[in-house]
Structure 1
Amino acid sequence: MDVFLASGRAHLTEETSTEIVVVTGNESADLDSIISAITTSFFLSHLQVLGGNPIIVPFINIPKSDLALRSDVLYILSSNDINIDNVYFRDDLPLLEQFAAKNPDQLSLFLVDHNIISETMASLAGVKVKGVIDHHVDEQLYKDTAKIRRIETVGSCTSLVADEFLRRATEKAASLDHRDGEQDMDEKHRPNWIKQATRMLLGAVLIDTVNLNPDYKKVTPLDLAVAKEILPYTGWDNTDGVFGKIDKARRDTSQLSWYDLLRKDYKEWTVSRHGSDDQTVKVGFSSVTGLVEKYVKRDGVDTIHKDIKTWSKTQDLDLLVIMLSDDLGEHQGGYQRQVILNPITDKVGGFVDQFEALDEPKFERIKSIDTDSFTKEGGRAYRQHNTALSRKQLWPMARKLLTEPPSQQTPNL
C-alpha cells in the first residue's frame, strides 16, 4: 500500500492534465476518519470506480505535527508499515489551493466520515465533491455530483468503506492471480495490501464499536457483518487481543496535557443564531478520553479552567462543549459520559439552560470543576445518563437549540 501512497505525492507539484481526487476525512481526524481516508483512496485507485483514471490521494485534516497526539492512530499505522510521509496533511492545503487555482476543473474531493466540507477546508468549497461515505446526520448535499454517495447510521465509517469496496477489491486481486486456474487465493499468495487494509479497517471498527459489544449500543448489524467478513483476511484468530492493544494506546493520555486533549479530537461549526439575520455563532466540540475528575486530580482545577479559556480564545469560539468518556469497569460504574459547557459570548445566552433541560439525554449536574467565576460566567459540568449518545448525536441537538426559536423545537429534540 505504501507504493500506492508514495506514487501520489509528486503530482500536486507537477504540471499535469490528469484529474486529482483528494479523499479527506473530517477535522477531528480520529482513527475512524484517518483509516477511512487512507483505505478509501487506495480502493478508489485500485478499482478505478470513478472513471477517467484520476490520481487519488488521501488527506488528513490536521497539521502533521498533531498526529503525535493520536497514539491509537500511530499504533495502527506503524504496525501496518504505513509511512505517514506519503500522506497529505493540512500543512499541504496551500498545495491543493494552488493546484485548484491553476486547474479549476482538475481537482475534486471525496468526503469520508463527514458529508459537508469542513470549515478548515473552506478555501476549497467551490471544488466538486465526487463522493461521500459517512455515518453522520445527512446534510443532503452533493447529490448531483457524487458518483458514490453512501450515508448510513452505523458504528464506524470504516464499516461502510469495507462494505462498499473490500469484496470487489479482493475479487479483482483473485482474478488477476490465475495460479493453476484457481479462483481463490490462499493466505500465502494474497497481496500484502489485503492484510494491511483489513487490519486497519477492522481495528477502527473495533474501537468505534467497543469490540463489537452490543452493551455499549454502538454496534449495528452491518458492523457485525463486516467484521465477520474481514477477520479471516487479517490473520488474527479473534478480535480481543488487537482491540486491547489499540484501546490501550488510545486511552493512554499520560503524555498529553489537558490543553492537548482539548485539541486532539476536535470539531467546530459556524451556524446562524435564531432571531438574528446576520449573527453567527461559532461552536467547538472537544472529545476527551477519561473523566474530568482524573484530570482535576492530575492537573488541578485552575489548569482545567485556564486551558479551556485559552483553547476557546485560540479558536475564537462563542461556545465550547467538552465531551468526556471512560469505561471504569463493571464494578466501578461501567461506561460513563460527562459534558462540560463553556459559553464565551452573549450570543449563546440562554443556551446552557435549554441544553440542561433536554429530556434526552438526561443531564445531572456535577461540581468537580465548579468555581465562582466558572459558574458565574455560565459554565456547567454534567454527568450524561444516556451514554449511547456521542458528539455525532449531541451536535445536531445543540445546533437545533442555537438555530431554531423555541416555538419550532420539538420537546425531546
Structure 2
Amino acid sequence: MSPRQSLQAFLATARNALTTPAAQRTAPLTFVVGNESADLDSLSSAVVYAYIRTYSPPHTLHIPLSNLPRADLALRTEMTAVLKSAGLVPADLLTLSDLPELDPNDTNWMLVDHNCLTGPLKQYAGRIFGCIDHHTDELSVSQSVSLRVVEPCGSCMSLVVEETRQAWDALSREVEGGDAADEDEKLAKIGLASILSDTINLTAKAKVREKDPRAVAFLEAKIRDPVFDRNQYFDDISAVKEDISSLNFRDIFRKDYKEWDESGLKLGISCSVQGFDYLVAKAGGAASLLDDLASWTQERGLDVASLMTTSHPDDEFQRHLLVWGLTDEGKAAVERFRKLGVELQLETWGDGALDDGANRSAWRQYNLAASRKQVAPLLREALKKS
C-alpha cells in the first residue's frame, strides 16, 4: 500500500485538484460536503471522512468542501480552535468560494450531516452517491446509493467513525515526510471535538446513542499526548464556541443558519449559543433585538424566521425558541406550528417581551432533546399546509 500524505498535505492536494485547469482535470471530481449551517460537526465530518476514504481502496481523491463562503469561515471560531489542535488553520480548508464552475456530470457527491443538497449546491443533487446523517430523513437521497446511513445519533461524526473505523485501522502506517500515529492523533482530535460539542461531553442523555461513546473511545485511543484531557478539551472548545461578544447581530444570526424552501415559502432558522436574556441585554433591549432580527429576515426574504438558542445559566441547560411569521402565508404557518409544537413543551419567555400577540412568539422550550433537527421538520410541516 502506498504511503498516505499528512492531513495538511492532503488538503493541499484537494485544493490543487480544484485549481487545475479544466482541460487537465481528472473527472469526475469526488466531493464530501456537510450541511449549509457549516457547524463543527459538518466541517469536521467532511474532513475526516474525505481523508480516510482517499487513502483507502480504491484510493479515489475525496475533496472535503466546507458548505459556506470563505468570508463566513471566520465566524466558526470553534473550528479555528479545533484546527489549531491539529496543526491546521482555516486557510487549509476548501469553501464554496474555492469551487470552480463545474458540469454536474463531472462531479460525484457524498453528503455528511445532511441528506438533501440545498442552496448553491442544489444543482448537483442528481450526482449524490451516498450520505451519512443523523437528521430527519428528507427522502431526497435515493435508496440505491452505495452508502446510505440516516439514523439518530448525538453527532454525525459518530456515524462517520462507525462507517470508517475498519478502513482507518487499515490505513498505511507510512506517511510521506511524517509519522502515521501523529496524523491519526490530529484526525482523532478533529473528530472528537465535534462529538463532545454535540453531546455536551456525552452528558446529553436525550441525544447520546450507543455509537457516540463507542466513537469517543475509538478516537481517544488514537491520542498519544500524555497530557491530553478530554474534559479540558471540551471546556476549551465550549468557551470559544460560546463567546459571541465580539460579533454583531447579523453575524450571530448567520453564524449557524439553515434555510429551506417549502411549498414555495422560505423558512430560515438561526441558532445561537446564548439565550434570549443575553441577546436582549447585548442588543440594549427587546425592541433593538427584534429590529436586528427583522433586518436579517428582510435580507433573506423569509416567510417564517426562527431563532433557537442554547445556554447554561447557573449551569442549567436551557433552550429558547422564537418563531416569527413575516408574510400572510408565514403567519398562517406559525399559527399551525403552535398546535404542532405541543411536544416541544413551550412556555412563554420573559412575560411575552419578544411576542407581538399574534405573528411572533418566544418561548422557553422544556423539551431539551428537541434541537433544530426536531424543530425544523415541525416548521416545515406547518409551511407545507399553506
Q: Does TM, scored on the shorter chain, surpass 0.5?
A: yes
Q: Unpaired runs of 5+ in structure 1?
A: 178-187, 273-279, 406-413
The aligned counterpart of 1:210 is: 200
| Whole-angstrom CA distance in 1 between matches of 2:321 and 2:381 | 18
- How far the C-alpha of 1:238 sits from its partner, in A, is 4.2
Secondary structure of the 2:137 match is coil
Q: Do 2:181 and 2:222's aligned partners in 1 also have CA atoms closer than 8 Å?
A: no
CA 1:5–1:229: 2 relative to 1, 3 Å: same
2:210 paired residue among 221, 225, 229: 221
- How far the C-alpha of 1:144 sits from its partner, in A, is 5.5
Q: Do 1:63 and 1:91's aligned partners in 2 also have CA atoms closer than 8 Å?
A: yes
The aligned counterpart of 1:339 is: 321
1:36 paired residue among 37, 45, 70: 45
Match for 2:267: what amino acid?
V
Q: Do 1:296 and 1:369's aligned partners in 2 also have CA atoms closer than 8 Å?
A: no
1:244 paired residue among 226, 235, 238: 235
The aligned counterpart of 1:261 is: 252
1:5 paired residue among 1, 8, 11: 11
- How far the C-alpha of 1:286 sits from its partner, in A, is 0.5
- How far the C-alpha of 1:340 sits from its partner, in A, is 0.8
The aligned counterpart of 2:3 is: none
Summarize the alignment of residues 13-412 of structure 1 with structure 2, pairs less than 5 Å apart. Answer: 13-14=20-21, 15-48=24-57, 51=58, 53-93=59-99, 95=100, 98-100=101-103, 104-126=104-126, 128-143=127-142, 146-174=145-173, 190-215=180-205, 217-235=206-224, 238-272=229-263, 280-300=264-284, 301-330=286-315, 334-357=316-339, 358-367=341-350, 370=353, 375=356, 378-404=359-385
Secondary structure of the 1:82 match is coil
- Superposed CA RMSD in Å reads 2.1
- How far the C-alpha of 1:145 sits from its partner, in A, is 5.5
| Whole-angstrom CA distance in 1 between matches of 2:155 and 2:253 | 22
Match for 2:207: what amino acid?
K
Secondary structure of the 2:170 match is helix
- Taking only the aligned residue pairs, the percentage that are identical comes to 29
Match for 1:119: what amino acid?
G
| Whole-angstrom CA distance in 2 between matches of 1:336 and 1:310 | 26
- How far the C-alpha of 1:293 sits from its partner, in A, is 1.1
Q: Do 1:27 and 1:120's aligned partners in 2 also have CA atoms closer than 8 Å?
A: no
| Whole-angstrom CA distance in 2 between matches of 1:336 and 1:375 | 23
Q: Do 1:18 and 1:54's aligned partners in 2 also have CA atoms closer than 8 Å?
A: no
| Whole-angstrom CA distance in 1 between matches of 2:267 and 2:65 | 24
- How far the C-alpha of 1:281 sits from its partner, in A, is 0.9
Deviations 1:318-361 (A, max 9, x none): 0101101101234xxx1111111121100123333332333201
Secondary structure of the 1:125 match is helix
Deviations 1:337-396 (A, max 9, x none): 11111211001233333323332011111246736xx61661111111111100001111
| Whole-angstrom CA distance in 2 between matches of 1:16 and 1:297 | 53
Q: Unpaired runs of 5+ in structure 2?
A: 1-6
| Whole-angstrom CA distance in 1 between matches of 2:314 and 2:218 | 30
- How far the C-alpha of 1:269 sits from its partner, in A, is 0.3
Deviations 1:172-196 (A, max 9, x none): 335x69xxxxxxxxxx964322001
Secondary structure of the 1:252 match is coil
| Whole-angstrom CA distance in 2 between matches of 1:292 and 1:204 | 25
Deviations 1:110-136 (A, max 9, x none): 11100011123223334x112211111
| Whole-angstrom CA distance in 1 between matches of 2:204 and 2:357 | 41
State the TM-score, normalizing by the size of structure 1.
Answer: 0.84
- How far the C-alpha of 1:282 sits from its partner, in A, is 0.3
Deviations 1:305-330 (A, max 9, x none): 12111110111110101101101234
Larger radius of gyration: 1
Q: Do 1:323 and 1:339's aligned partners in 2 also have CA atoms closer than 8 Å?
A: yes
- How far the C-alpha of 1:156 sits from its partner, in A, is 0.2
Q: Do 1:27 and 1:267's aligned partners in 2 also have CA atoms closer than 8 Å?
A: yes
Secondary structure of the 2:245 match is coil
Secondary structure of the 2:160 match is helix
Match for 1:29: what amino acid?
A
- How far the C-alpha of 1:158 sits from its partner, in A, is 0.5
Q: Do 1:336 and 1:387's aligned partners in 2 also have CA atoms closer than 8 Å?
A: yes
| Whole-angstrom CA distance in 1 between matches of 2:98 and 2:28 | 18
Match for 1:124: what amino acid?
Y
The aligned counterpart of 2:4 is: none
| Whole-angstrom CA distance in 1 between matches of 2:282 and 2:26 | 55
| Whole-angstrom CA distance in 2 between matches of 1:164 and 1:389 | 26
Count of matched residue pairs = 371
| Whole-angstrom CA distance in 2 between matches of 1:54 and 1:107 | 13
Secondary structure of the 1:284 match is strand
Secondary structure of the 1:253 match is coil
